[in-house]
C-alpha cells in the first residue's frame, strides 16, 4: 500500500476532500519525515507552532476550494512570512522576523495550504548553488555529495526527498529550473507578471517571478493556480487563463512548431554529453508526438550578456547597500563583490541597461514568434559536487563557473517567457538531467499542455531517489 508521501499533491488533496485524512495528519506525516530525513539541507526553519494553528483552522473545506486545500507545502526563505524567521539566506538577517507576509505567502494561506516552514536558499537568492552561511548546503537526494542547485535549492531538495509534495520557488535567472534539473523534478517559471511580487516589488527590472516545484506537471499546474494572480499596484501582469492551469494539462496542445538549439547562450562552454543526450532524446520524443522540430540559431546575441550582468549586479546592490557596514561585513564574498559592482553602476547607466535589455528581449521574441515553443537543455552539466562552483577567494571565477553551468536559463527571464524544466533523463550513474521548454509570453497554458503530454508519453512519477 502506498505511503502518503508516495501520492501526488493532488491525490493527497483528494484524500482530504474525502475526509480520509485530515490536513493535520498530512502535516504530521511530513513533519516526521523532515525530522528523520532532512539530510539534504532542505529546511532552515520549521514553523511547528504556526502549522498546528493552520491545521486547526482548516476544519471545513469551503465550496470551490483549491484541489490542494489542506496539502502541506513550504515557502522559500526569500519570501516574507509574518511571525516566521526569514533570513534571505544571509547571516545579516539571521534574527529577522517580519511582521507582514508577501503575496506568495498570503496566496498559499488563502488556498488553505499549510506551509511547514522556510526552505534553504543562498544569500539573497543570487547563486546557482545553495551553500549559505546560515545552513548546511542543499544537496540533491540522488547523490548527497552534489548540489541541489539554486537559488530554490532547499525547495527542490524538500520535494525530491519527499519532505513536502510541492514547494514554492522563485526564478530570476533560472532559480526554479536549475534545482528542478538537479533534483529530478518539474520546475515551472511562469510568465513575467503571472505571480504578483507585492508588497516589496524588489525586482524593478522584471526578471524574477515565483513559481512551483513539483514531482508532476499536474501538481505544478495546480500550485500555479494557487500562486497566480495580480494585486493592485503590480508593475507587470499577465492575462488570466481560460479556466485553470490544471485544466490546461488535460487539453491537447495540438501539433506545434518547436524551435530548438543546443548552443549555449551566455558564453562558449562545453556541454556534457549527458545533457546533449537528454536534449536529443527530448527532440525525438516531441517529434514522435507529432510536433515539427526546427533547428534555429541563438535568438539572443552574446552582447546581451553584459547587459544582463549589469542588471543582475544592481539587483544584488539593492539588497546590500541598505545594510549598515557591520552587517555588510557578514555577507559572503560573492555577494559583496556583486554588490560593489552594482553600487558602482550609475543611475543613467542602469537606465540604459534596462532599455538595452528590453530591446534584446524584443528582438528575441520577434525571432521566436513563428514557433510555439523552444527546446534547449536546462543545464550544461549534471549536478556538480558541493563547493565545485563556489570560489570565496575569487568571486569573479565563481560567477563565471555559474555561467558555464547555466548558459540557457536566464534567456527566458530576459524575454519574460514561461519556461519549464522536465526530468526526462538520467545519467548512467543515476543523476537527474532536465530538459527545458519555453513558450511565448503569457502562453503558460500551452506550455503546461505540452509538458503534460510529454510526461504522459515518458512518465517519471515513480522514479525515487535513495532514502525515499
Domains of the chain with bracketed CATH: 4-457 (3.90.1300.10)
Match 484524500 to its residue by C-alpha cell: 15
Task: Calculate the alpha carbon distances from 406 to 132, 268, 432 in Å.
Answer: 19, 12, 15
* pLDDT tens digits, 379-432: 999 999 999 999 999 999 999 999 999 999 999 999 999 999 999 999 999 999
* pLDDT tens digits, 160-169: 999 999 999 9
Gyration radius (Cα) of the chain, Å = 20
Q: Could you tell me what percentage of the chain is helix, strand and coil, using 3-state DSSP and rounding each to the nearest 5?
A: 40, 15, 45
User: What cell was used for 450?
Assistant: 505540452
Nearest to 307 by CA among 265, 354, 267, 339: 354
Q: What pLDDT does residue 111 have?
A: 95
Q: What pLDDT does residue 1 have?
A: 58
pTM of the complete model beyond 0.95: yes
* pLDDT tens digits, 440-450: 999 999 999 99
Q: What pLDDT does residue 48 have?
A: 78
3-state secondary structure of 31: helix
HSE value, Cβ hemisphere, 13 Å, CA-based, for 337: 15
- Active site members: 76, 151, 175
* pLDDT tens digits, 243-274: 999 999 999 999 999 999 999 999 999 999 99
Q: From CA 376, how far away is CA 417, in angstroms rounded?
A: 14
Q: From CA 421, how far away is CA 174, in angstroms rounded?
A: 10
Mean pLDDT for 109-130 is 97
Q: Which residues are registered as beta bridge partners of 271?
A: none
User: What cell was used for 99?
Assistant: 511582521
Match 549586479 to its residue by C-alpha cell: 313
3-state secondary structure of 227: helix
Mean pLDDT for 115-143 is 98
Q: What pLDDT does residue 49 have?
A: 75
Q: From CA 76, how far away is CA 212, in angstroms rounded?
A: 11
What are the strands, taking DSSP E only, across 231-356?
Answer: 257-260, 292-295
Q: From CA 373, how far away is CA 379, in angstroms rounded?
A: 18
- Looking at the chain, the whole-number percentage of residues with pLDDT higher than 70 is 99
- Looking at the chain, the whole-number percentage of residues with pLDDT higher than 90 is 95
* pLDDT tens digits, 130-155: 999 999 999 999 999 999 999 999 99
Q: What pLDDT does residue 51 have?
A: 77
Do the beta carbons of residue 170 and residue 135 sit within 8 Å? Answer: no
Q: What pLDDT does residue 57 have?
A: 76
Q: What pLDDT does residue 453 have?
A: 98
Q: What is the mean pLDDT of the chain?
A: 96
Q: What pLDDT does residue 459 have?
A: 98
Task: Give the CA diameter of the chain.
Answer: 63
Q: What pLDDT does residue 2 have?
A: 84
* pLDDT tens digits, 192-227: 999 999 999 999 999 999 999 999 999 999 999 999
Q: What pLDDT does residue 456 have?
A: 98
Query: Is the pLDDT reported for residue 54 higher than 80?
Result: no
Query: Is the pLDDT reported for residue 56 higher than 80?
Result: no
Query: Is the pLDDT reported for residue 305 higher than 90?
Result: yes
* pLDDT tens digits, 15-51: 999 999 999 999 999 999 999 999 999 999 998 777 7
Q: From CA 98, how far away is CA 93, in angstroms rounded?
A: 11
3-state secondary structure of 447: helix
CA 108 to chain centroid: 16
User: What cell was used for 398?
Assistant: 565563481
Amino acid at each position: 500500500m502506498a505511503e502518503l508521501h508516495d501520492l501526488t499533491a493532488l491525490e493527497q488533496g483528494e484524500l482530504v476532500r474525502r475526509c480520509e485524512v485530515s490536513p493535520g495528519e498530512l502535516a504530521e506525516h511530513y513533519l516526521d519525515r523532515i525530522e528523520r530525513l532532512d539530510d539534504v539541507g532542505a529546511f532552515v526553519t520549521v514553523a511547528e507552532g504556526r502549522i498546528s494553528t493552520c491545521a486547526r483552522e482548516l476544519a471545513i473545506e469551503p465550496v470551490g476550494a483549491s484541489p490542494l486545500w489542506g496539502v502541506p507545502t513550504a515557502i522559500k526563505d526569500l519570501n516574507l512570512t509574518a511571525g516566521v524567521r526569514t533570513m534571505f539566506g544571509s547571516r545579516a538577517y539571521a534574527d529577522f522576523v517580519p511582521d507582514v507576509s508577501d503575496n506568495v505567502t498570503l496566496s498559499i494561506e488563502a488556498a488553505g495550504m499549510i506551509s511547514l516552514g522556510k526552505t534553504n536558499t543562498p544569500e539573497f537568492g543570487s547563486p546557482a548553488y545553495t551553500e549559505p552561511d546560515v545552513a548546511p548546503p542543499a544537496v540533491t537526494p540522488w547523490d548527497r555529495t552534489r548540489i541541489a542547485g539554486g537559488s530554490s535549492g532547499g525547495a527542490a531538495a524538500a520535494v525530491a526527498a519527499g519532505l513536502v509534495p510541492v514547494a514554492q520557488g522563485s526564478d530570476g535567472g533560472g532559480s526554479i529550473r536549475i534545482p528542478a534539473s538537479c533534483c529530478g523534478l518539474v520546475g515551472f517559471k511562469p510568465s513575467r507578471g503571472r505571480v504578483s511580487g507585492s508588497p516589496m516589488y524588489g525586482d524593478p527590472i522584471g526578471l524574477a517571478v515565483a513559481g512551483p516545484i513539483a514531482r508532476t506537471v499536474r501538481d505544478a499546474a495546480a500550485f500555479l493556480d494557487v500562486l497566480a494572480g495580480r494585486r493592485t499596484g503590480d508593475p507587470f501582469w499577465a492575462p488570466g487563463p481560460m479556466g485553470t492551469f490544471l485544466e490546461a494539462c488535460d487539453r491537447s496542445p495540438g501539433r506545434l512548431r518547436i524551435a530548438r538549439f543546443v548552443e549555449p547562450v551566455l558564453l562558449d562552454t562545453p556541454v556534457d554529453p549527458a545533457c546533449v543526450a537528454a536534449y536529443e532524446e527530448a527532440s525525438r520524443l516531441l517529434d514522435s508526438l507529432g510536433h515539427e522540430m526546427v533547428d534555429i540559431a541563438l535568438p539572443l546575441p552574446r552582447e546581451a550578456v553584459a547587459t544582463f550582468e549589469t542588471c543582475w549586479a544592481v539587483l544584488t546592490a539593492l539588497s546590500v547597500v541598505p545594510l549598515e557596514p557591520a552587517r555588510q561585513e557578514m555577507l559572503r564574498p560573492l555577494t559583496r563583490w556583486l554588490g560593489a559592482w552594482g553600487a558602482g553602476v550609475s543611475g543613467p547607466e542602469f537606465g540604459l541597461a534596462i532599455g538595452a535589455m528590453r530591446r534584446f528581449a524584443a528582438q528575441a521574441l520577434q525571432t521566436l514568434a513563428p514557433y510555439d515553443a523552444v527546446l534547449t537543455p536546462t543545464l550544461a552539466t549534471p549536478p556538480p559536487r558541493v563547493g565545485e562552483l563556489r570560489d570565496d577567494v575569487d568571486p569573479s571565477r565563481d560567477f563565471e563557473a555559474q555561467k558555464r553551468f547555466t548558459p540557457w536559463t536566464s534567456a527566458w527571464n530576459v524575454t519574460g517567457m514561461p519556461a519549464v524544466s522536465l526530468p526526462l533523463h538520467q545519467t548512467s550513474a543515476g543523476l537527474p538531467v532536465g530538459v527545458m521548454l519555453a513558450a511565448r509570453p503569457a502562453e503558460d497554458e500551452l506550455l503546461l499542455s505540452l509538458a503534460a503530454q510529454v510526461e504522459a508519453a515518458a512518465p517519471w512519477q515513480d522514479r525515487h531517489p535513495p532514502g525515499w
